[in-house]
Amino acid sequence: MLRRNCAAKVNALLEIFPAVLILGVRQSGKTTLAKQVRENWKYFDLENMNDLDFISSDMDFFFSEYPGNIIIDEAQEFAELFRHLRGVIDADRNQKNRFILTGSSSPELIRQASESLAGRLGMVELGTLKMNELHQEPLPPFYQIFSSQLSTATLDELGTPVTKERDVVNDFLYGGYPEPVLAKSDDYFRTWMQNYFRLYIERDVRRLFPRLDSIKYRRFVSTLSELSGTIINKAQLGRSLDTSEVTIRDYLEIADKTFVWRMIPSYEKSTSKSAVKMPKGILRDSGLTHFLANIDSREKLIRSANVGQNFESFIIEEIIKGIQCSKATNWNYYYYRTKHGAEVDLVLEGSFGVLPIEIKFGMTTRSTQIASLKRFVSDNSLPVGIVINNSTEVKTLAENIVQVPATLI
């Protein structure tokens, strides 16, 4: 049972709220996390028909027997649960630390939870394994910078060479789904991914959207493996899949709401008047991306035409997973691009300020490669911008531009 970064956040939220909901893609480790933080609590799985019948047949009786200290897994299987849980919580409103719920692959889940349990429920989004979790290391010090206002001195604490050995390329190749990654077998990985993808389409998506053309949606998600990290042209993608632009829009929303795809909005607060205002997107797990693209070896990966944009997607997701488990609040993520081609891969904004990040796969980043980042920092009067690459040390690349190795993310 691997230690997860978000365990501390779940514990903290349970001190504030009566209930915590752990959200995330199927097989990301939500159940394991819930059992880790409350190992002695009673566990119920709503995908188990006996547990579902027991709870749904008489909820008043169930909650009189189990008024707290319970984990309810796959809560999206029973929408009425949230409305009833509101009354249970309000009967003893001041009691915290009573319920952990988990849920996956359901756009209705967040709506039901938000409407029924507003002010009574804390939410945590759990992604697939982050690199430090896979290697059972603490959350890197990098994420401490988001707990205070950014300044030119923000990254001084990271100014030492990397001494630990970690194969970032290998982590990038296989992604973070716990079961296939920990098996450390290429055959097992491919077989697991094939069955996972099939079940995602046939069980999760078909159950939520029964009228969906599953064959076209399968082709759509497979196509996303070539488009991760790009702005999606819905009309062009629709023509390639022989479907309408409206259908592509719906498919993107389904993929996003089932935690497979992440939509990243454009940053529109820049001083530039030529900023592109279309969102881009990334597949959330690099292992799934590479499986769908038939990239099954290190050599194929580093020779892939899309290695740069896929590495960008991988690092963006690593950073988002890290901040989600940090103490940062009221923050969001964007990308920036102008009609003239200037681009910044990731722009983070929150109480800490604005932090632009450029991501490069190589070990050396030339000054010409960060011209857009330098201009963004200058035009927006920012204290610091970051370049993340596969180098081995933190160092200054230009005025207010700092290089941070991917091993420290």
| CATH code for the domain in which residue 60 is found | 3.40.50.300
Alpha helix (H) residue ranges in 58-209: 59-65, 80-90, 107-116, 131-134, 168-174, 178-183, 186-199, 206-208
Q: Give the other-Cβ count within 10 Å of 200's Cβ.
A: 22
User: What's the whole-number mean pLDDT along residues 347-353?
Assistant: 95
Q: Which of 45-54, 155-164, 243-252, 356-365 has the lowest mean pLDDT?
A: 155-164
In which domain, by residue range, is 110 found? 7-125
pLDDT tier at 162 (50, 70, 90 boundaries)?
low
CA separation for the pair 356, 204 (Å, rounded): 36
pLDDT at 61: 97
Looking at the structure, tell me whether residues 179 and 111 fall in a common domain.
no
Residue where a domain terminates, one of 96, 125, 154 = 125
Residue where a domain terminates, one of 63, 91, 125 = 125
Mean residue pLDDT of the chain comes to 92
pLDDT tier at 297 (50, 70, 90 boundaries)?
very high
Q: Give a yes or no: residue 49 inside a domain.
A: yes
Q: Give a yes or no: residue 287 inside a domain.
A: yes
Distances (CA, A) of 130 to 174, 229, 246, 286, 408: 12, 19, 34, 11, 12
CA separation for the pair 256, 173 (Å, rounded): 22
Considering only CA atoms, which of 50, 43, 56, 45 is closest in space to residue 85?
56
Looking at the structure, tell me whether residues 137 and 119 fall in a common domain.
no
Strands of 220-352, DSSP E? 230-231, 261-264, 280-283, 332-337, 343-350
Looking at the structure, tell me whether residues 92 and 138 fall in a common domain.
no
Looking at the structure, tell me whether residues 54 and 138 fall in a common domain.
no
Taking the alpha carbons of 254, 126, 46, 82 in that order, is the dihedral positive or negative?
A: negative
Looking at the structure, tell me whether residues 64 and 180 fall in a common domain.
no
Q: For 166-218, how does the pLDDT look when each residue is reduced to its tens digit (9 = 90+)?
A: 799 999 999 999 999 999 999 999 999 999 999 898 888 887 788 888 899 99
Residue 245 pLDDT exceeds 90:
yes
Number of domains present in the structure of the chain: 2
User: 3-state DSSP call for residue 343?
Assistant: strand
Looking at the structure, tell me whether residues 106 and 157 fall in a common domain.
no
